[in-house]
């Protein structure tokens, strides 16, 4: 669709709601898909993003607690040392990524298969170091997920990496989702799985990563299901993996 004249696009007012984060996960996903083909909406996003960007600067100033900085810097130092140990390959900047929208929300690894090479190497090192019992990065835990569906290759694996209160899933030799479907990450705290907007697939060799959005606080299990493209607010299939955060 292309709408260069003002007011012609049926999603005319969606750009402002999108930039303010006021669209639902599915609506935001649809708008992101619509955007590359609509000059009017691209123009709106470009024009209005500067107004949205400054909203975050208008809040009362609060000093970040020193212990927060120490904690974050500690994790970063540990990871940098792992990267350093991995050599020049791990230092190589990641390849240019698909164009994403003007705001930082685009930067979120929604389709995290394209995770950076450096981080991929880091995950490998984290798994390796946990297998070897290394204490190089004590704040990162690697947990093997249970594969719940029959017929998945014997060598398929899914690992949940927990650093502090954040999690990442990495997959190897993992089957692609069925045609017309995409994997969706769910969080289960007490009973009902809650949807996330993390949708992903794996590459032709079955490798991929997915970020677990937000904090793991209160989350008991991470589940992955194959859902219709665009994701689903409720699971339509039984999980293909589950990973316990308590393990």
Partner 1 sequence: MTHRGRSAPLGDHRLRGLADEELMLELARGDADAFDLIYERHSDAAFSLAYRICGTRVAAEEVAQDAFLALWRNGSRYEMSRGSVRNWILGIVHNRAIDALRRAVRHETRRAGDEGLAERLMAPDRTDLEVSRREEAGAVRGLLADLPSDQRRVIELAYFAGFTHTQIADMLSIPVGTVKGRMRLGLEKLRSRMEISGVLT
Residues 74-93 contacting partner 1, CB under 8 A: 75-77, 79-80, 83-84, 88, 90-91, 93
Q: Which is nearer to partner 1, 179 or 217 (CB)?
A: 217
Question: Residues 2, 5, 7, 61: which binds partner 1 (CB under 8 A)?
Answer: 61
Taking the C-alpha atoms of residue 48 and residue 132, their distance in angstroms, rounded to an integer, is: 51
Least distance between partner 1 and beta carbon 147 (Å):
26
Classify residue 196 by its DSSP letter. E
Binders of partner 1: how many residues, by CB under 8 A? 76
Least distance between partner 1 and beta carbon 219 (Å):
9
Using only the alpha carbons of the chain, give its radius of gyration.
20
Strands 241-244 and 221-228: antiparallel
Q: Which is nearer to partner 1, 168 or 242 (CB)?
A: 168
Q: Which is nearer to partner 1, 88 or 180 (CB)?
A: 88
Taking the C-alpha atoms of residue 60 and residue 9, their distance in angstroms, rounded to an integer, is: 38
Expressed in angstroms, the distance from the first to the final Cα of the chain is 48
Q: Which is nearer to partner 1, 179 or 192 (CB)?
A: 192
Least distance between partner 1 and beta carbon 101 (Å):
9
- Using DSSP's 3-state secondary structure scheme, residue 147 falls into strand
Taking the C-alpha atoms of residue 217 and residue 189, their distance in angstroms, rounded to an integer, is: 9
CA 199 to chain centre: 8
List all residues 6 or more positions away from 64 whose beta carbon is below 8 Å from its beta carbon: none
Question: Residues 166, 176, 201, 244: which binds partner 1 (CB under 8 A)?
Answer: 166
The encoded tokens of residue 74 equal 């500690």
The mark string for 96-135 relative to partner 1 (x by CB under 8 A, - otherwise) is -x--x-xxxx-xxx------x-xx--x-------------
Counting contacts by CB under 8 A, is residue 33 touching partner 1?
A: no
The encoded tokens of residue 15 equal 């750009």
Identify which range of 7-15, 33-41, 143-151, 220-228 contacts partner 1 by CB under 8 A: 7-15
The answer to whether the beta carbons of residues 227 and 237 sit under 8 Å apart is yes
Least distance between partner 1 and beta carbon 107 (Å):
5
Q: Which is nearer to partner 1, 14 or 222 (CB)?
A: 14
* Helix and strand counts by DSSP (H, E) for the chain: 6, 9
Taking the C-alpha atoms of residue 230 and residue 155, their distance in angstroms, rounded to an integer, is: 29
Counting contacts by CB under 8 A, is residue 49 touching partner 1?
A: yes
Q: Which is nearer to partner 1, 93 or 180 (CB)?
A: 93
The mark string for 189-218 relative to partner 1 (x by CB under 8 A, - otherwise) is xx---x----------------x-xxx-xx
Taking the C-alpha atoms of residue 166 and residue 210, their distance in angstroms, rounded to an integer, is: 12
């Amino acid at each position: 669709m292309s709408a260069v004249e003002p007011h012609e696009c049926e999603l005319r007012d969606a750009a402002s709601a999108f930039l303010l984060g006021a669209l639902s996960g599915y609506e935001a996903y649809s708008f992101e898909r619509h955007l590359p083909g609509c000059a009017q909406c691209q123009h709106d996003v470009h024009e209005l993003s500067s107004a949205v960007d400054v909203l975050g600067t208008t809040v009362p100033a609060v000093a970040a607690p020193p212990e927060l900085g120490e904690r974050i810097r500690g994790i970063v130092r540990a990871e940098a040392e792992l990267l350093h140990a991995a050599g020049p390959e791990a230092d190589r900047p990641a390849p240019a990524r698909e164009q994403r929208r003007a705001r930082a929300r685009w930067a979120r690894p929604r389709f995290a298969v394209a995770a950076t090479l450096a981080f991929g190497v880091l995950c490998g090192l984290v798994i390796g170091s946990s297998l070897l019992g290394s204490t190089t990065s004590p704040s990162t835990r690697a947990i093997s997920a249970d594969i719940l569906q029959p017929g998945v290759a014997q060598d398929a694996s899914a690992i949940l990496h927990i650093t502090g209160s954040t999690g990442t899933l990495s997959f190897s030799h993992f089957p692609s989702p069925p045609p017309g479907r995409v994997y969706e990450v769910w969080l289960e705290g007490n009973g009902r799985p809650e949807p996330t907007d993390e949708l992903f697939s794996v590459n032709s060799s079955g490798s991929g990563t997915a970020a677990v959005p937000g904090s793991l606080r209160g989350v008991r299990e991470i589940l992955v299901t194959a859902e219709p493209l665009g994701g689903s607010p409720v699971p339509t299939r039984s999980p293909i993996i589950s990973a316990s955060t308590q393990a």
